[in-house]
Amino acid sequence: MKKYILISFFFCAGFALAQNEKANIENQINTAGKYFNKGQYEKALELSKSALVRSFKINDDYLIAHSYNAIGVIYDEFSQSKHAISFYKKALAYASKTENDSLNDWIYSNLGSVYYFSKIDVEKGIQFYKKSLKFATKINDSVQITYTKLNIASAYFSVNDFKNGINYVRQSQDYVKRKGTHEMQFTLASLLGIYHTHDNQPEMAMQYYNSAIAIADKYQFQSYLLNIYETLVTHYKYYRQPELAQEYQEKFNLLNKTLYSQDKKDLLKESAMQIELDEYRIQLERIELENEKQFQKLQESNRVTALFSVLLVVFLVLLLTLYRSNKFRKKINAELSQANTELQLAKEQAEEASKMKSQFVSTITHELRTPLYGVVGITDIITDEHKELANSPHLNSLKFSARYLLSLVNDILQLNKMDEKHIVLETAVFSMQEELDAIVNSVQYIADNNANELIVAIDPKIPTFLIGDRLRLSQILMNLTSNALKFTRNGKVKISMLHTGIQNDTHQIEFKVSDTGVGIAPADQQKIFEMFVQVGRTDEDYQGTGLGLSIVKKLIALFGSSIHLESELKKGTTFRFTIGFKAAQDVQNLTMATEKVLQTPSSLKVLVVEDNKINQLVTQKIMDKHQIKCDMVEDGFSALHLLETNQYDVILMDINMPIMNGFDTTRRIRNLGIQTPVIALTAFDKEEVKEQAMACGMNDIIIKPFEPEKLFEMIYQLVGESQ
């Protein structure tokens, strides 16, 4: 059964705003609504996105909610339910700040529509509609009351609850006939047609359907016309008239293809990411602007202090008597005290702004890593459970996109750490060959897409195992290699390592990443190492944020080295740098650890404390794949209850949980005398939570998303130590 929904695109036509910019934004969204009703969705989306950015700049909660709602309606129209719900909820968050009942009414109505129309949860959709109805009744908005009642009736019809549905139709009928808009008249006729179809009154049903078609044709309601075609297909199938059902099915297909082409859907997906990036950019700009203001205040205070110092010297020379000298001294002391107070306040405000920026970046990366753990994990699950999809381009694209987004999140966090000088190189034993294999596996998808040959050459003089920060080195090579592959088509990309000598027991290794791609113009060769700078976009649109090479340059500087560039347009590019590593003399433990991970006993019993349902599923599948017994609970109290009667070899503990977080749960476990190893399984950066984790009794930390092998290596090591 097709559903008929009246979506609140406009908040209030002709709403009087005092300021000119606000009025312009309001008019812009209203214009977007007109394009939406005509089926011109690209224009509607462009205007709505522009309105959102302008609303953020003037910091108007009402208009921000207004814009988010408009964008959500467009995504809802294309059945992009996840994005639509996200935008509606953002709209609701800003609407709550305005204490505007009308805003809450419209947004709850649209939330009801997306849950019901997309068949996510019809009952939940009805509950949202009823919340909307309460707000509409509270403000006595007859139009919105009627809209909402018709939506509730449509939802009840969709689950064959015609008894409740027809009651709402009858409550709305009188108002629609007297004052109803054309959309209301169309919806009422459609719903009465559906009701009479299922009441075995086909002639009466067709009268209402024909009335609905006439309204849609007259006022060019293309999406409504699509709905009535689909309903007529259902109607004729119900009365066993296949020829007529086929006729309207063909009309439906033709109109659906015109309104909802794949190009338009692709545009929406790209726009969703752009909207989120615009939001983050605006928030960061606000923080930077606040920092600049505080810095200016600090400079002004310094000038005031300098001026007072000069005046103090002048007055000391001029004052001849003790009385004037004492009076002058008191005055200067008071003024200096005030200046120092202002300086201290300015310093604290600047530090607070910097702290807010760090917290913002940390929160954003955590909130993105959590769903990415689910995306990456579920993608791996699909690959494992459906071997026939192993080579699916769509699944590979999903994997690549998830890992690309994860890389972007890590880049942002990395830059923030570098700016605050929080990065210290680690020292650990690693295999250069294994790191290169991992990099090649990660970028092979890009190489295949661009028909490139990826070549790796390692000087045999380089020791098998080295000591150094393998993570930072991998980041450098990964960024350079993925860049080379993206800017090369039908060519070659080569990663080479040359042993150039030994200095003070340190093996000097020259790294080169070269390609046969588009090359970089001489005028752009210094710019590319700056943040957010991208070149070479005139002919083709290469993906990227402009952060990669900036991070590479800073990471190489941490190793005490520098990067060199050689490039020629249309012939290719080579990046070169040298880093020294000490050779690992005793690699037996590393080799044994790797072998033991592969032999992890299935007799292990693990307790997972995780509140996110999707992350529970992913972690459960990882444990099942390795034949490890696993109990799953969603909060700290449940974990404590299980530990009273069960013993486990290891506990995987999420940190950010409701009721009782992972730190408090672990602290209570240790207070009970339970010494089972606890591993923090979190999306927070390790350095942010390390101190708290160790203080409460956790044994180690692993960051989501993670490689299962790293987790099992950690589990085996901790279990072995505890035994």
Asked if omega into 202 is within 30° of 0 (cis), the reply is no
Mapped onto helix, strand or coil, the DSSP state of residue 651 is strand
Give pLDDT, residue 496. 95
For 265-323, how does the pLDDT look when each residue is reduced to its tens digit (9 = 90+)?
555 555 654 565 455 456 545 544 555 666 677 677 777 777 777 777 776 777 688 77
Cα 245 vs. chain centroid, distance in angstroms? 43
Pick out the chain residues at pLDDT < 50.
1-3, 10-18, 273, 277, 280, 284, 287-288, 537-539, 541, 588, 590-595, 597-599
Give pLDDT, residue 399. 64
1-179 shares its CATH topology with 181-260: yes
**CATH class of this structure's domain 428-585:** alpha beta
Q: What is the number of other CB atoms lying within 10 angstroms of the CB of residue 208?
A: 21
Residue 608 β-bridge partners = 632, 652
Cα 51 vs. chain centroid, distance in angstroms? 21
**Beta 605-609 vs 629-633: how paired, if at all?**
parallel
Per domain, the residue ranges of the chain are 1-179, 181-260, 268-399, 428-585, 597-722
CA dihedral 697, 703, 704, 710 (to 10 degrees): -100
Nearest to 148 by CA among 166, 168, 133, 131: 133
Q: What is the number of other CB atoms lying within 10 angstroms of the CB of residue 135?
A: 22
For 711-723, how does the pLDDT look when each residue is reduced to its tens digit (9 = 90+)?
888 888 888 877 6
- State pTM to two decimals: 0.41
Q: What is the number of other CB atoms lying within 10 angstroms of the CB of residue 318?
A: 9
Are the C-beta atoms of residues 601 and 719 closer than 8 Å to each other?
Answer: no
**CATH class of this structure's domain 181-260:** mainly alpha
560 torsion bin: left (phi>0), alpha (psi -120 to 50), beta (else): left
Is the domain 597-722 a CATH 3.20.20.370 member? no
Cα 25 vs. chain centroid, distance in angstroms? 26
The CATH code for residues 1-179 is 1.25.40.10
